[in-house]
Amino acid sequence: MTVPNSVLTQGPVGSVDEFVARLAALQQALPPTDGLAYFNQMYALVTAAVSQTVGASAFADPVWITTLDVVFANLYLDAARDSVQSPDAVPRAWAALLERRSDPRITPLQFALAGMNAHINHDLPVALVAVCTQLQTTPDSGSHHADFERVNAVLASVEPAIRKSVEDQLLLDADQVVPGLQDVVANFDMGKAREAAWSNARTLWFLQQNAGNASDAAAFLSALDHLTGFAGRGLLVPLLNPHA
């Protein structure tokens, strides 16, 4: 896929509004059949749904949750940028999608969920630890977990509609059009993935904060990256016959 490098290689964003604008710019720049475009579309829908359902003022600690949103978003942009500038630096979690984004045998929903798998299962624990370090707090402090779960509740209510908007008619006739699609995508649940991400963040935080565990923290993060990449490749098993 040929994508204007100027879009993919822009620097990090500094706010949620800036990120929303970047998602829109990426969507315009990416070829419509690019696997990354399907994830980008789903991410934009998720971001809009959360913003429309619950604003930052509804959280007990809006600074923490807003900072998390931005740090988390930039990890996606980092992976997209590295795919152009430093392919060897792309996390294994993201490589699964970025290496197969041109495969016409993979459905849009598979690409979208593979991106969510990489972003939630790998990036979210990293972002949670980074934000707590930046703001000099801990995952278990104050209202952090309650605010995090508030987002989970919103996602649980909008996920079915978001999935449908990505696949549209294909989802309605999935059993007839793409045998096996439902079996593959049923293995990914956004809410459960976020719950696991929180647990992994607490583990990573403990390892990083305790003297002598630096190597254990690095090993844990590497294993998480590998496992997420493995799950992503499972989500991207080819199901379509492009010559049919």
Contacts of 183 (CB under 8 A, 6+ apart): none
The b-or-e profile of 186-200 (16+ CB within 10 A means b, else e) is eebbbbebbebbbeb
206, part of any domain = yes
Which domain range does residue 134 map to? 5-235
pLDDT at 172 over 70: no
242, part of any domain = no
* Mean pLDDT estimate for the chain: 87
* Confidence label for 189 from pLDDT (cuts 50, 70 and 90): confident
pLDDT at 200 over 70: yes
Distance CA 159, CA 165 (A): 10
Report residue 143 CA to chain centroid gap.
Answer: 23
Number of DSSP helices (H) and strands (E) in the chain, helices first: 13, 0
The predicted-structure confidence for 102-134, as pLDDT tens digits, reads as follows 999 998 889 999 999 999 999 999 999 999 999
C-alpha distances (whole Å) from 243 to each of 58, 104, 105, 123, 240 are 50, 10, 9, 36, 9
Distance CA 174, CA 21 (A): 32
Distance CA 105, CA 42 (A): 19
* Confidence label for 184 from pLDDT (cuts 50, 70 and 90): low
Distance CA 27, CA 32 (A): 8
* Confidence label for 3 from pLDDT (cuts 50, 70 and 90): low
pLDDT at 173 over 50: no
243, part of any domain = no
pTM of the model: 0.90
pLDDT at 161 over 80: no
- Which of 71, 183, 187 has its CA nearest to residue 135? 71
C-alpha distances (whole Å) from 23 to each of 8, 19, 40, 117 are 10, 6, 7, 18
Residue whose tokens read 């060897």: 88
Pull the structure tokens for residue 145.
């977990």
Query: For a pLDDT cut of 70, what percent of the chain falls above it?
Result: 86
240, part of any domain = no
Other beta carbons within 10 angstroms of residue 6's beta carbon come to: 9
173, part of any domain = yes
User: How many folded domains does the chain comprise?
Assistant: 1
241, part of any domain = no
3-state secondary structure of 189: coil
- Which of 188, 183, 118 has its CA nearest to residue 159? 188
DSSP 105-163: TS-HHHHHHHHHIIIIIIIHHHHHHHHHHHTT--TTSTTHHHHHHHHHHHHHHHHHHHH
45, part of any domain = yes
Distance CA 137, CA 8 (A): 32
Distance CA 196, CA 160 (A): 20
- Which of 153, 168, 149 has its CA nearest to residue 107? 168
244, part of any domain = no
